[in-house]
Amino acid sequence: MKSKVLSPSNSHPHDDACYFSSCQPASMQLSNVAWSPYRDKPLLEPVNVTITAGEFVAVVGPNGSGKTSLLRCLYRVNRPSSGQVLLDGQDIWSLSARQCAQRIATVLQDTGAEFGLSVFEMAEIGLTPMSTSWKRSENDSRIIENALALLDVGHLADRAFDSLSGGERQRVMIARALVQCPDVLILDEPTNHLDIRHQLEVLELLASLPCTVIVSLHDLSLASAYADRVLVMKAGKMQDFAPPSHVFTEQQIKQVFDVETVIDEHPITQRPRFSFYLHKKQD
């Protein structure tokens, strides 16, 4: 399982030991969860998995495999056509949208523009599910500052959000999710716009958080390096759900992604490492 070490003080002068004190890592159970906007064409076929509280789960698969559709079921946007999504044993559709947002935070692929908000104000939106007042407390400000510092965007706090690069926006959106102090954090391709260093820093951070983390990734090396278990999708069907060393085999990667792979062991992490190539057809 992932470590539970969080150190805002590494990147910010404030050391807030209670930064995530309200988090209660939650389990999620998908019981025969299927979804489609069409009556006769299932886009997501029944999925049965149990995600342990505090686990880091990576969801992988080729484009169109159902990763985003599955995640949308988990954060209460796609209502399953059949089956249930249970949060600590409770159907998330028995909760109000606000109750769900108090426990589940999301980071989506498309950050968009946000009507002239500053970076600080954008992160501040993360307080909304828990807020009972429009007035921001000193502790609220400290939580926002620490979250921005953790994602290396504290120096941008006064900048307009829509003036940022794609990678900077993505890190602000992750900071906003952290401000919610979620029990479950769900991220859809969070490393897409990030350079190599920030990809690694963000995954290191996610792996250290004291909450359940569910993240879709295209990069199998990142999934292998950081996930406790990997959920493999293809054409709307779950193919496997197991630790990286069991999921990432040459045979399964070929079957799911249609590429050849040489797999060895990373000398530092001891996790599977991949070299991909296309199989050349014989003339």
Residue 23 has pLDDT above 80, yes or no: no
Residue 283, domain member (yes or no):
no
H/E stretch holding 71: helix 67-74
Label residue 42 by pLDDT band (50, 70, 90). Answer: confident
Per DSSP, the residues of 100-155 read: HHTTEEEE-S-----TT-BHHHHHHGGGGGG-SSSSPPHHHHHHHHHHHHHTT-GG
What pLDDT is attached to residue 7? 44
Q: What is the mean pLDDT of residues 21-49?
A: 91
**Predicted model pTM:** 0.90
Cα–Cα separations (whole angstroms), residue 256 to 14, 60, 83, 214: 46, 10, 25, 20
Q: What is the mean pLDDT of the chain?
A: 89
Average of per-residue pLDDT across 66-91: 96
Please tell me which of 5-9, 15-19, 229-233 the model is most confident about, judged by mean pLDDT: 229-233
Residue 227, domain member (yes or no):
yes
- What tokens does 136 get? 């921001």
**Would you say residue 17 has pLDDT above 70?**
no
Percent of the chain with pLDDT over 70: 89
Residue 214 falls within a domain, yes or no? yes
Average pLDDT over residues 268-273: 88
Give the domain range for residue 101: 8-277
- Residue 64 is assigned to a structural domain of this protein: yes
Write the CATH number for 102: 3.40.50.300
Instruction: Tell me which of 84 and 21 has the higher pLDDT.
Output: 84
* Number of separate domains in the chain: 1
pLDDT confidence bin for 112, thresholds 50/70/90: low
- Predicted confidence at residue 281, as pLDDT, reads 65
- Structural domain includes residue 269: yes
**Phi and psi of 213, rounded to 5°?**
-120, 130
Residue 179 Cα to chain centre, angstroms: 15
The pLDDT confidence band at residue 39, using thresholds 50, 70 and 90, is confident
CB count within 10 Å of CB 135 equals 7
Dist CA 144 CA 141 (whole Å): 5
* Residue 94 resides in a domain: yes
Mean pLDDT of 179-197: 93
Residue 18: inside a domain: yes
Residue 176 lies in a domain: yes
